Structure 1
Amino acid sequence: MNKIRTAATNPFIATAASLVVLMVVAIYSGFSGIIDLSPGQVLAHLTGTETLSDREQAVFFNIRLPRIVTAMVVGATLALSGAAYQAVFRNPLADPYLLGVSAGAGLGVTLVIVGGVSLGLTAGGFGIIGAAFIGGITAVAATVLVSRGVGFGSSATVVILAGVAVAAFASSIQTYIQQRNIDTVSRIYVWMLGSLNVSRWESVVSVAIPAALCAVLILSSARLLDVMTVGDIEARTLGIDPTVVRMSLVAVATLGTASVVAISGLIGFVGIIVPHAIRLLCGPGHRLLLPLTLVWGAIFLVTADTIGRTILAPQELPVGVVTAAVGSPFFLFILRRSSRPRREGRTA
């Protein structure tokens, strides 16, 4: 066990091993499905020694590859955003889904979809991302304000309960809009369940650009996140304004979340599962935690999506259902772990 922990805390070994796992998972996912394809067939097609049928080319290059890349981008962004939220709020339960960010982004996307249909327009990629960002940033701001208004705003439980309340309110408005626009219900419902079935590379690129920008900004803020986890007083003694840092990083993480939610729908618990698992194994230092969280977020969601589209083949299980099935018990584990010191303190 000590050897595993030593290897996990070595930046070079941990990163290299994680990238190898990601490559293996991606290759396995690419050749898993109803239509049987082998790496040898695809390699022979690329080298010109053998040609895949039109159907096989369409399945591999226009369906599976965009889907795998989308899963990597979405998983990495949600996990990285979760790690950033947990650091700036000093809250082990913070996550785009539980803070209301995803629900707010969903409301924004719903408004754009309904508005586009009613006006005879199509909701373009960046238009949806913009609406998701506005909805997400509004939701997380409402969560913070509600938690502080109730009192004990630094309490993990209060912040999460405020996020649940804000998410419920946003979801109620979204449901009302759906009922008033019944012709768009099916499209919105499929989006809400979470799906990575993207068949156009243009859609992947439109999301990957803002997601990559947000990832770079969060990764470059590792030192600031280390300071923020210690406390606001310590941050000020080091010449850092915690309010500015918190607002900036929340905005960046929310933009990243909004950009991927716009294409994938509501996928929960990725931002809790991955950062916590990495933190338990590698420690709390963000210089190692953040890059590993990014890679393992991609691994986690590619794996979940592969399970979702193969376990009931030819039917498909939404990836959001798979992550919820894994994330719910993990969330209870974290909740129990985070509340244990408090109970011990009361009984002492």
Structure 2
Amino acid sequence: MRRTRSPLAIAVVLLLAGALALLLALVAGGLPVGTADVLGALTGADGMNATVIRELRLPRALAAFACGGLLATAGALMQVLLRNPLADPYILGISGGAAVGALGAITLGAAAFWVDASAFVGALTAMLVVFGLAHGDGSWTQTRLLLTGVIVAAGCGAAVSLMLALAPDTRVMSMLFWMMGDASAAARPWPALVVLALALVVVLPFARDLNVLARGELSARALGVQVGHLRIALYVLASLLTATAVTLLGSVGFVGLIVPHLVRLALGNDQRVLIPAAALAGGTLLTLADTAARTVMAPQQLPVGVLTALIGVPVFLFLLSRSPRSTR
């Protein structure tokens, strides 16, 4: 369990990268603004530039940062709990449940608030179904949990396909954008930021136990770690983080998969460093991806999930190709 860098240096670099990503998100766009305009908008100045920054760009940038941090934190937890560096936070069917809830609300013509609320309820329902079915008669195992998640996700996918086939033509485009990850309507990032901060506060005291658990369940039990309680609590937390992220921006893939793994390759497997570093790196990556999504083909905006997939697929294939060698 090695650390190749100073934790303080890591924190400084990641904080600077996150701040620069947010600054770029506020500056870049069809309306040219400068750093002075950003500072003025953040300190209460008036004017068109300040209004655009405060009401449009700032909420969207913070939403992207929060979603990236949530997904990366959930991915880091899933990877250590499943002892699989290529595990994904969507693996338990949480995003499928959120998609069913959100698309059902969109089909009915509900307002944005009810779309978000339906997505969150759908994600929590999928989580409860997966954990309830996986527990069964009490013989709860990782394999049973994963298989249950795959089956629930497949069922949710079928329901989503049915809704897309039956939905009016006027609503299909918004449904597809939600499924691909769309930050343009994210106007309330603060709850997600609070959830991310609270999750880090809750998880970091258990980082030493996670370090022990990463060495194996028998070793963890021998050293006094309450493996069963810890695992269930962190699975539930990872599911809630994923549900919050999916509710905020829709389905954004690969952030929770590649960010924790890349951070682990760079910094080692110490969860005290890995988890907060993954949160900052995930937020920075998704903020940059969203900035590119709305500026590369301006005035047309791309779903941010498309860009994360274009980045994530080659990175995932690279990691997959080298994993047998690292395993040996």
Q: Same fold (TM over 0.5)?
A: yes
Instruction: From 183, 206, 218, give the equivalent of 2:191.
Output: 206
Aligned to 1:66, the other structure's residue is in SS state helix
Q: Does 1:244 align with 2:233?
A: no
Aligned to 2:312, the other structure's residue is in SS state helix
Letter in 2 for 1:306: T
What is the CA distance between 1:84 and its match in structure 2?
A: 0.1
Q: Does 1:15 align with 2:11?
A: yes
Q: What residue number does 1:134 align with?
A: 125
Letter in 2 for 1:38: G
Q: What TM-score do you get using the length of structure 1 for normalisation?
A: 0.82
Q: What TM-score do you get using the length of structure 2 for normalisation?
A: 0.86
In 1, Cα distance between equivalents of 2:192 and 2:42:
27
Give CA deviations for 1:28-72 in whole Å, capped at 9, x if unaligned: 221001110001234356678xx6533x23321111000111011
Aligned to 1:16, the other structure's residue is in SS state helix
Where structure 2 has 5 or more consecutive residues not aligned to the other structure, the ranges are none
Preserved contact between residue 100 and residue 143 of structure 1 (Cα < 8 Å) = no
What is the CA distance between 1:258 and its match in structure 2?
A: 0.3
Letter in 2 for 1:187: S
Q: What residue number does 1:331 align with?
A: 316
Where structure 1 has 5 or more consecutive residues not aligned to the other structure, the ranges are none
Q: What residue number does 1:194 align with?
A: 181
Letter in 2 for 1:259: T
Aligned to 1:74, the other structure's residue is in SS state helix
Q: Does 1:167 align with 2:160?
A: no
Instruction: From 38, 47, 55, give the equivalent of 1:53.
Output: 47
In 1, Cα distance between equivalents of 2:100 and 2:241:
17
Residues 169 and 194 (structure 1), Cα distance of their counterparts in 2 relative to 1, 3 Å cut:
same
Preserved contact between residue 279 and residue 289 of structure 1 (Cα < 8 Å) = yes
In 1, Cα distance between equivalents of 2:206 and 2:265:
21
Letter in 1 for 2:129: T
Preserved contact between residue 84 and residue 249 of structure 1 (Cα < 8 Å) = yes
Residues 45 and 89 (structure 1), Cα distance of their counterparts in 2 relative to 1, 3 Å cut:
closer
Q: What residue number does 1:308 align with?
A: 293
In 2, Cα distance between equivalents of 1:325 and 1:139:
30
Q: What residue number does 1:177 align with?
A: 163
Alignment of 1:120-131 (within 5 A): 123=114, 125-126=116-117, 128-131=119-122
Preserved contact between residue 106 and residue 115 of structure 2 (Cα < 8 Å) = no
Residues 139 and 195 (structure 1), Cα distance of their counterparts in 2 relative to 1, 3 Å cut:
farther
Aligned to 1:315, the other structure's residue is in SS state coil
What is the CA distance between 1:86 and its match in structure 2?
A: 0.3
In 1, Cα distance between equivalents of 2:177 and 2:195:
24
Deviates more, 1:164-173 or 1:241-250: 164-173
Aligned to 1:105, the other structure's residue is in SS state helix
Aligned to 1:316, the other structure's residue is in SS state coil
Give CA deviations for 1:81-106 in whole Å, capped at 9, x if unaligned: 00000001111111123443322332
In 2, Cα distance between equivalents of 1:115 and 1:322:
29
In 1, Cα distance between equivalents of 2:290 and 2:134:
30
Deviates more, 1:34-43 or 1:183-192: 183-192
Letter in 2 for 1:336: S
In 1, Cα distance between equivalents of 2:58 and 2:307:
20
Aligned to 1:153, the other structure's residue is in SS state helix
Instruction: From 76, 95, 102, give the equivalent of 2:69.
Output: 76
Preserved contact between residue 278 and residue 292 of structure 1 (Cα < 8 Å) = yes
How many residues in Structure 1 have an aligned counterpart in Structure 2? Answer: 324
Identity between Structure 1 and Structure 2 (%): 34
Q: What residue number does 1:256 align with?
A: 241
